[in-house]
Structure 1
Amino acid sequence: MEGPQGQKSAIVVGAGVGGVATAARLAKAGLKVTVVEKNGFTGGRCSLIYYKDYRFDQGPSFLLLPDFFYETFQDLGTSIEDEGVEMLQCPRNYNVSYSDGQFVHLSTDLARMKAEIEKWEGKDGFERYLAYLQEAHRHYELSVKFVLRKNFTSIFSMLRPGFVKAFFDLHVLQSIYTRASKYFWTERLRRAFTFSSMYLGMSPFDAPGTYSLLQYTELAEGIWYPKGGFHKIVDALVNFGKRSGVEFRMSSPVKSILLSADQKQAKGIILESGEELHADIVIANADLVYTYNNLLPSSDYAKSLEKRPASCSSVSFYWALDRCFPELSIHNIFLADDYKDSFDEIFKEQTLPKEPSFYINVPSRIDPTAAPEGKDSVVVLVPVGHLVDDDQHDDSDDAKGRPGLHVRRKQDWEAMISRVRTFILKTLEQRLNISLSEHIVNEYVNSPQDWKERFNLDKGAILGLSHSFFNVLSFRPRTQHPSIKNLHFVGASTHPGTGVPICLAGAKLTSEQVLGRLGIRVPWEVDASVDKVRRNSTLDKVHPAMPGHVISVIVLLLAILSAILWMRV
């Protein structure tokens, strides 16, 4: 564990995306880094499942916000390509299916989108679509600048001048559905442009309007897939880490974080085997709520985290099929008729909706290595409520808007899994006229209990804590423990939030915070002179146009002055 004399050391608990990216960055800065992981594989939820020659992505199945991936490797002094990762762009984003047999096809192709929007909302619809993109683009740019690239270390971080100005443009206090309804006037398109809130594990009727940035990046930057599976990104980071001296200790569950006698400083970790590992810095990439409640001494703050709103869970099926079904595209969304009620059943009743929406991914459609020739690998993800105690009460409004104290129904997951499996197969028969059941040669299932047991996810919530307003920015658990020195966090439930690219952004913030504390120079700081080399021609000089309203005022004043002079003559 000890490095050369004077070399600082760090232990990363958990080999998820945020953990391996942080390890790689700290190793790049010269630290001696050890990663300990409870499972025998890296990547956490971003890992792979195999059956013979079939391959499935256990969690994320498409890559968004590609700039954060490219930036991570650039900061490390390499590139995605040099690390052997081949990025494939999906030719079409989604096929969105409705119960009336109609589809909405979402694409980065503007001409196709023009035809698609006008098909449902007429000529005026396309102009509103462009206005929607403009707003979503602004949400994206402001979020990157003021949230994803900034750490929020206290409540005063929200008072930064730039952020205060941007706050109202981010529409944090309005929902994604409310903002989409301004631009899309049919219920069909409102649903097509709001289901992406599930990437955050939230209902589109509750998720802040800011997160239209997710739909924006799909439409403007495209949906990507690393050939060989999403884990190729993790592999590349792990391989870079190993070349840089990072030690990976797999199948090594952690019992607790080792603290000083006064419990005010992290000194290392204690493995379940009893072995102690010491380091100058400890970074927890394990689920944050689990870390506070299981790896640290009990505290009121730890207990309060368990009471915070959590994201949803999922029932995920991984099907190996003995033939191809071309009716299924790479990404397929099947929306419920009772759109809002289905989300209420997930987030208020914490159960499986009577009529669930679900997502189907067919990786073999874009990457033939995912399945044997002439066959398909299929992943079905059904959002469901997270785990609750059988006798847990809830004093919020129920799914029908009825106020008052009520008891959530008992979660019989075995029965619900059987029911939703039947529902999925029946829906595919009705909407696509295909029958998959007799062609499934192998099935693997992840339930909320599996997510909890395999990855220590609190309540089996697959995306960590919710992204409601009081769970983001300065309200989200911070990347540094408030009272224990040398203990930091990275991952879905700390700032800036959930999702692979967001966790990569978080890894950069946490790494820079650690290096700042140790007084070590950040090796990936951008040289301001780089841009000058690129813009050395007079053709590249920026000449901002005068704002249109200013020009209009000037023209109006000149017209009035001319009229006055003419009248005098």
Structure 2
Amino acid sequence: MLRAAVIGAGIGGLAAALRLRHKGYHVTVFEKNDYAGGKLHAIEKDGYRFDLGPSLFTLPELMDELHQLFQEKVDFDYSSQETACHYFWEDGTQFQAPAQPSKFASKASEVFNEPKKNIGKYLENSKDKYETTKSLFLEKSLHKASTYLNRDTLKAIAKIPLLGITGTLDSYNQTFHNPKLTQLFNRYATYNGSSPYQTPGIMSMIPHLEIGLGTYYPQGGMHRISQSLYELADKVGVEFRFRESVTSINQKNNTVTGISTDHQDYEFDLVVSNMDIFPTYKKLMPDVKEPKRTLEQERSSSALIFYWGIDHEFPQLGLHNILFSEDYPTEFQHIFEHKTLFEDPTVYINITSKLSPEDAPAGCENWFVMINAPGDYGQDWDQMVKQSRKNIIAKIKKVLNVDVEPLIQTEYILTPQDIEKNTSSYRGALYGAASNNKFAAFLRHPNFSKIKNLYHVGGSVHPGGGIPLCLLSAKITADLIPDAQ
């Protein structure tokens, strides 16, 4: 039986391992941590459970597809959500965004005094961009000539001049009269760690994922996504080696021969790296000529996250909540230009105990409180964390009219430094490279390598970061690999 190694048990690595196992390979996954899931991890602290990583679940059919590869089954259930997000501004404006286009347009028209027709047209355009480009940008390798030799791709290429490549997302979103609605749709740039004032207008397709195709919640929380894949992989014979760090990818005559770890050397017929592309070259293949333009791309934003056990319940909050900054342009300027944090941050609060009451003690809530942050460039994170905590508490008080500090029963903090340490994501970037220019998608590393039988998956390579794209990267990669039989 042909043998395949997967480096890293993040969501992309787990999906790749399952797909390779389905193709008949004996698969061994190497993971430096003592758990599977990468950023999709969780902790329990003082009676509270917190999902540590991604908090939004879309395109659940990608998970269904993995679970349907095998006759063996593990539990994985999810429910659709009627409300995509609760939005708040300091002047008292609130908007509970429906996860359905016509309902969204009707409600947003009332709240923001915007013609319903304008909002509906925007959402239709978002859908059109997504459906036009998904086969090119999301479902196939951008770096194979065969991708461009079919009707769907040629239609997508023909439409590119009309998709908003040249202008920014913010300039595209100026179509709205109410600046709050512009700010709401600008927020979607953060879904790939970019700035709305730099990323191209084609990113206006992202709202369709959430509003058009829906948002979902996995039973048991986001951690259940990674754990269900791990349990399935274990059940179908994928071998896992935890607490074993890969130290090099070995090759001879430009062909992979195996890997070395801090334990021993191994021979493999092919290797799939789920490790961030930057350390993959710098640490695992230092003698291989690196793709300089790819590695020098601007990194995506990171995050500063406070996990708070709150001794109170807030009925005005939902699963997903956004408390907007009063000065969005300056906030992104601080993050991407000054590599620091703004004093008036946009605050995201995720509360899974709204749907999983067991995640917090009775009468309490588990708050995942996040602000967008720059990557780690040697800043004084102790000081930045201390000041940001004060700024976040002040923001919550202004918007919700409550001082949450005395309600915090327990606290856990995750910084960009921690994210890099735990997941090997260069500078703690959440999505690999940022998409702050129109060529960013093409500069991402392909899912294959110039070294024969070496492949790449995960958020730092094509098609990008976030759960759906990492799952798609594994699918694209698996399609490039022949069956083992």
TM-score range, shorter chain: over 0.9
Per-residue CA distance 1:519-555 (angstroms, 9 max, x = gap): 558xxxxxxxxxxxxxxxxxxxxxxxxxxxxxxxxxx
| Aligned counterpart, 2:454 | 487
The offset of 1:491, in angstroms, is: 0.5
The offset of 1:505, in angstroms, is: 0.8
Conserved 8 A contact 1:252-1:272: yes
- Of 43, 46, 60 in structure 1, the residue corresponding to residue 40 of structure 2 is 46
- Of 432, 455, 467 in structure 2, the residue corresponding to residue 464 of structure 1 is 432
User: How many angstroms apart in 1 are the aligned matches of 2:8 and 2:420?
Assistant: 15
| Aligned counterpart, 1:69 | 63
Greater mean deviation of Cα atoms: 169-178 or 360-369: 169-178
| Aligned counterpart, 2:51 | 57
Conserved 8 A contact 1:470-1:476: no
| Aligned counterpart, 2:344 | 355
2:443 pairs with 1:475 = yes
- Of 83, 90, 100 in structure 2, the residue corresponding to residue 92 of structure 1 is 83
| Aligned counterpart, 2:265 | 276
Which amino acid is the alignment partner of residue 293 of structure 1?
K
User: How many angstroms apart in 2 are the aligned matches of 1:50 and 1:161?
Assistant: 50
Which amino acid is the alignment partner of residue 422 of structure 1?
K
Per-residue CA distance 1:241-294 (angstroms, 9 max, x = gap): 12221001111111111222x4x1211111123x01211000000111111111
| Aligned counterpart, 1:226 | 218
The offset of 1:121, in angstroms, is: 2.5
| Aligned counterpart, 1:510 | 477
SS at match of 1:494: coil
Conserved 8 A contact 1:472-1:496: no
2:14 pairs with 1:20 = yes
2:381 pairs with 1:413 = yes
Conserved 8 A contact 1:270-1:276: yes
TM-score by length of 2: 0.94
| Aligned counterpart, 1:189 | 181
User: How many angstroms apart in 2 are the aligned matches of 1:69 and 1:213?
Assistant: 21
| Aligned counterpart, 1:166 | 159
The offset of 1:307, in angstroms, is: 2.1
Which amino acid is the alignment partner of residue 425 of structure 1?
I
SS at match of 2:83: coil
Which amino acid is the alignment partner of residue 175 of structure 1?
T
SS at match of 1:294: helix
User: How many angstroms apart in 2 are the aligned matches of 1:121 and 1:156?
Assistant: 48
- Of 2, 27, 32 in structure 2, the residue corresponding to residue 8 of structure 1 is 2
TM-score by length of 1: 0.81
Conserved 8 A contact 1:72-1:504: no
Conserved 8 A contact 2:57-2:217: yes
Gaps of 5+ in 2: none
Conserved 8 A contact 1:10-1:31: yes
Where does 1:102-251 land on structure 2 (aligned, <5 Å)? 102-109=93-100, 110-111=102-103, 113-122=105-114, 125-154=115-144, 161-182=154-175, 184-251=176-243
Conserved 8 A contact 1:256-1:269: yes
The offset of 1:471, in angstroms, is: 5.2
Conserved 8 A contact 1:136-1:213: yes
2:354 pairs with 1:365 = yes
Aligned in 2, Cα 1:338/1:292: closer, same or farther, shift over 3 Å? same
Aligned in 2, Cα 1:158/1:187: closer, same or farther, shift over 3 Å? farther
| Aligned counterpart, 1:396 | none
Aligned in 2, Cα 1:335/1:520: closer, same or farther, shift over 3 Å? same
The offset of 1:66, in angstroms, is: 2.6
| Aligned counterpart, 1:562 | none
The offset of 1:299, in angstroms, is: 4.9
Gaps of 5+ in 1: 1-6, 390-410, 522-569
Q: Give RMSD over aligned pairs.
A: 2.0
Count of aligned positions: 481
SS at match of 2:449: coil
Q: Percent identity?
A: 30
Greater RCO, CA 8 A, separation 6+: 2
Which amino acid is the alignment partner of residue 93 of structure 2?
Q
Conserved 8 A contact 1:334-1:358: yes
The offset of 1:148, in angstroms, is: 1.3
SS at match of 2:174: helix
- Of 327, 339, 356 in structure 1, the residue corresponding to residue 316 of structure 2 is 327
Per-residue CA distance 1:121-147 (angstroms, 9 max, x = gap): 34xx10011100110001111232222
SS at match of 1:301: coil
Which amino acid is the alignment partner of residue 118 of structure 1?
E
User: How many angstroms apart in 1 are the aligned matches of 2:138 and 2:462?
Assistant: 8
SS at match of 1:380: strand
Which amino acid is the alignment partner of residue 86 of structure 1?
D
2:331 pairs with 1:339 = no
Conserved 8 A contact 1:336-1:342: yes
User: How many angstroms apart in 2 are the aligned matches of 1:358 and 1:267?
Assistant: 47
The structure that has the greater radius of gyration is 1
